[in-house]
C-alpha cells in the first residue's frame, strides 16, 4: 500500500425489508395490544373505586380485579418484546439500542405483575417500593426507545412517508412520560391518573403504528 493512499468509506445504508416474518410479528403485536386494551378497559369499567383522573393504573393491580391489571401489564410487555424482534427483523442495520430498551421494558412489565403497588392510605412496603422502581424503569426505557427510533429511520426510503408520524409519536411518548413523572409529585397528584393514562395511550399508539405500516405498505 502506498503512503498517503486514502479510501472513501460509503455510509451504511439504512434499508427496511418487510418479510412474512415481519408481517406475522406485526399482527401478533396488534393482537396483544388489543388484548391489553380490552383488559385495561374492563378494569376501568368493573372497578369504580379507582379514580381515573387522580389514581394510578397500577391501583387496579392491588384491588379486586387485579387479574385484569396483570393481564394488561403482561400483554404490553409481550407486545414490547415482539416489537423489538419485529424491528430487528425488518430494519438494517438493526437498531440495537432501541431493541435493548424495548427488551428492558418487556422484562419490567412482566416482573411488575409480581409486585403490587401500595394503595393510597396504606403503609409503604418493600413490595410497593419494588413496584415503583420497576414502573420507573419501564416508563423511562420505553420513552427513550420512542425518542431514538426516528433517528434510525431518518435516511431509510421506506419510512419517507411515515417519518414525521413516528417523530410525532415519539415526542408525545416523551412528553407524556415526563408529565407522568411530574404529576406523581404530591402537589400535582390530583392529575396523575389522567396523565399516566395519556402515556398508556401513547405507548399503545407507538407500538401499533409500525405494525400497521408494515401490514399495509
pLDDT tens-digit readout, 143-199: 999 999 999 999 999 999 999 999 999 999 999 999 999 998 876 889 999 999 999
Q: Is residue 29 part of a domain?
A: yes
Q: Is residue 1 part of a domain?
A: no
Q: Is residue 82 part of a domain?
A: yes
pLDDT tens-digit readout, 47-102: 999 999 999 999 999 999 999 999 999 999 999 999 999 999 999 999 999 999 99
Q: Is residue 2 part of a domain?
A: no
| Residue 7 pLDDT > 50 | no
Q: Is residue 9 part of a domain?
A: no
Q: Is residue 107 part of a domain?
A: yes
Q: Is residue 152 part of a domain?
A: yes
Q: Is 121 left (phi over 0), alpha (psi -120 to 50) or beta?
A: left
What total number of domains does the chain contain? 1
Q: Is residue 83 part of a domain?
A: yes
User: Residue 47 belongs to what domain range?
Assistant: 17-216
Residue bearing cell 423489538: 84
pLDDT tens-digit readout, 103-145: 999 999 999 999 999 998 888 899 999 999 999 999 999 999 9
Amino acid at each position: 500500500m502506498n503512503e498517503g493512499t486514502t479510501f472513501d468509506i460509503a455510509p451504511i445504508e439504512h434499508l427496511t425489508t418487510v418479510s412474512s416474518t415481519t408481517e406475522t410479528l406485526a399482527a401478533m403485536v396488534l393482537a396483544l395490544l388489543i388484548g391489553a386494551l380490552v383488559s385495561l378497559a374492563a378494569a376501568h369499567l368493573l372497578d369504580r373505586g379507582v379514580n381515573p383522573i387522580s389514581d394510578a393504573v397500577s391501583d387496579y393491580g392491588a384491588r379486586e380485579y387485579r387479574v385484569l391489571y396483570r393481564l394488561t401489564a403482561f400483554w404490553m410487555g409481550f407486545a414490547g418484546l415482539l416489537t423489538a424482534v419485529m424491528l430487528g427483523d425488518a430494519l438494517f442495520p438493526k437498531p440495537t439500542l432501541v431493541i435493548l430498551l424495548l427488551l428492558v421494558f418487556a422484562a419490567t412489565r412482566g416482573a411488575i405483575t409480581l409486585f403490587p403497588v401500595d394503595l393510597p392510605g396504606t403503609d409503604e412496603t418493600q413490595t410497593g417500593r419494588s413496584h415503583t422502581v420497576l414502573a420507573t424503569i419501564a416508563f423511562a426505557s420505553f420513552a427513550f426507545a420512542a425518542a431514538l427510533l426516528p433517528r434510525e429511520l431518518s435516511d431509510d426510503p421506506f419510512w419517507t412517508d411515515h417519518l414525521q408520524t413516528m417523530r410525532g409519536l415519539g415526542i408525545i411518548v416523551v412528553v407524556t412520560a415526563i408529565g407522568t413523572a411530574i404529576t406523581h409529585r404530591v402537589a400535582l397528584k390530583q392529575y396523575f391518573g389522567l396523565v399516566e393514562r395519556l402515556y398508556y395511550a401513547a405507548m399503545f399508539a407507538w407500538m401499533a403504528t409500525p405494525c400497521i405500516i408494515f401490514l399495509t405498505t
